[in-house]
Amino acid sequence: MNVRALLLSIAVTISILVAGCSSGPGVSIAITTPPPANLPANLTASIAATVTNDPTNSGVDWGCTPVGACGSFTPTHTASGAVTVYTAPGAPGPVVITAASTKNPAVHQQADVTIGSGLTINLTTPPQRTWESTSPRRLLRR
């Protein structure tokens, strides 16, 4: 091979490498409105994720594990940045929520949520006050 052919081959190889590297960043996703770290059973949380560098604007697909016992999403597919409502399951335990790019499901982000046994509210009322009159103008508090 002569020097001219070698230099041409090197120039073509460099051009191919540069063209491959300059195609821009790939699709990425971020959970922009995360779920709470702890959520009582059967309650809801609004969550959202944003996909970047997706020229088709395919959106986000929502899922969770353990499948069948992790709760639900309404809707299960959203536009990038749009909110979905997550409903916690009825049983306590750990859940992993996944936001995946619809265009490239291998690109995803996860959030861990601990589902509690439920919300307990205890109410107490103060004792009632009684009033007693000893004279027409005077009330005594007991």
For the chain, list the strands marked E by DSSP.
28-33, 38-40, 44-52, 60-65, 72-74, 77-78, 83-87, 93-101, 108-116, 131-135, 138-141
Query: What is the residue range of 83's domain?
Result: 25-116
We report the CATH number of the domain holding residue 86 as 2.60.40.10
Helices (H), the chain: 3-21
- Predicted pLDDT at 128: 75
Query: In this structure, what DSSP letter does residue 117 have?
Result: S
**Would 18 be classed as within a structural domain?**
no
Tens of pLDDT, residues 110-124: 999 999 986 567 777
**Would 128 be classed as within a structural domain?**
no
Tens of pLDDT, residues 25-64: 899 999 999 999 999 999 999 999 999 999 999 999 999 9
Overall domain count for the chain: 1
**Would 34 be classed as within a structural domain?**
yes
User: Which band of pLDDT confidence, cut at 50, 70 and 90, is reported for residue 21?
Assistant: very low
Mean pLDDT for 59-72 is 97
**Would 96 be classed as within a structural domain?**
yes
